[in-house]
Amino acid sequence: MLGVVGGSGFYTFFGSDARSVSLDTPYGAPSAPITVGTVGQHEVAFLPRHGVSHEYSPHTVPYRANMWALRALGVRRIFGPCAVGSLTPDLGPGSMVVPDQLVDRTSARPDTYFDSGGIHVSFADPYCPTLRAAAAGLPGVVDGGTMVVIQGPRFSTRAESQWFAGQGFRLVNMTGYPEAVLARELEMCYAAIALVTDLDAGIETGAGVRAVDVFAEFERNIVPFKKLVHEALEAVDVERTCTHCLAHDGVKLPFELP
């Protein structure tokens, strides 16, 4: 089974024919019931990251419950569509990007399932190369770029976004971490697909980023963005062949994965 975790403005994915599954986990309930439908040859589970009515802010999303619930349902490969700000004028609003790196600037978010046992996962390349290739190979998609993940819920100051841009980062987001590393700990393939909604505060003069404008831009692009996610799912092979994301090969875990 494949999975899709929808970001801001991406609260539904299937029609009324999809089935709904409610799960509990050792980390509480996920953001919402999971809906399961079909895309091409794949059974696909969809979970809105922020809840069906955007109940969860970036720093309160139950990331561990979300990833655990998807794994328990049978998901092994996940696309994570998300809204991002751009740190370069080259990527204007409406651009769709498949990042290849992330930088974590969050704080105090539970970001592991392994509080004991000395388990350390490889995270040098945080996204699954196989899933990335499926999405990045689609027409009009920008392949690559570093996404810096900030704590939120506030947006960056001008000085912060100029600092990020000066480091060579291209995108800024609030939810890409710890979602990606939790998927890796559960040995699930994961790749982000980013929709640019704005130029960040330090890249463009004016009033700075406003939430109302971000949501409006996302809404303007939601139809082609969902179409892109559908096409990415259809481009994924039926059989999982990736070994890059099998983080615990040869390691004895303190508990069994769901």
In a domain, 250, yes or no: no
Mean pLDDT for the chain overall: 93
180: confidence class by pLDDT, cuts 50, 70, 90:
very high
In a domain, 153, yes or no: yes
Any idea which residue has 């996404």 for tokens? 147
Q: Please check if 67 is assigned to a binding site.
A: no
In a domain, 140, yes or no: yes
What's the number of domains the chain is made of?
1
In a domain, 258, yes or no: no
The pLDDT, as a whole number, for residue 31 is 97
Q: Across residues 201-221, what is the average pLDDT?
A: 70
In a domain, 172, yes or no: yes
Q: Please check if 96 is assigned to a binding site.
A: no
pLDDT in tens, 122-137: 999 999 999 999 999 9
pLDDT in tens, 142-160: 999 999 999 999 999 999 9
In a domain, 254, yes or no: no
Q: Following DSSP, what letter does each residue of 79-94 receive, concatenated?
A: EEEEEEEESSTTS-TT
In a domain, 252, yes or no: no
Domain that holds residue 177: 2-235
**Which residue out of 104, 125, 143, 198 is catalytically annotated?**
198
Q: What predicted TM-score, i.e. pTM, was given to this entire model?
A: 0.95
Per cent of the chain over pLDDT 70 is 96
Q: Please check if 174 is assigned to a binding site.
A: yes
| Catalytic residue status for 90 | no
In a domain, 245, yes or no: no
User: How many Cβ atoms are within 10 Å of 174's Cβ, its own excluded?
Assistant: 24
| Catalytic residue status for 111 | no
State the DSSP code for 52: T
User: How many Cβ atoms are within 10 Å of 75's Cβ, its own excluded?
Assistant: 25
What 3-state DSSP class applies to 133? helix
Task: Give me the CATH number covering residue 191.
Answer: 3.40.50.1580
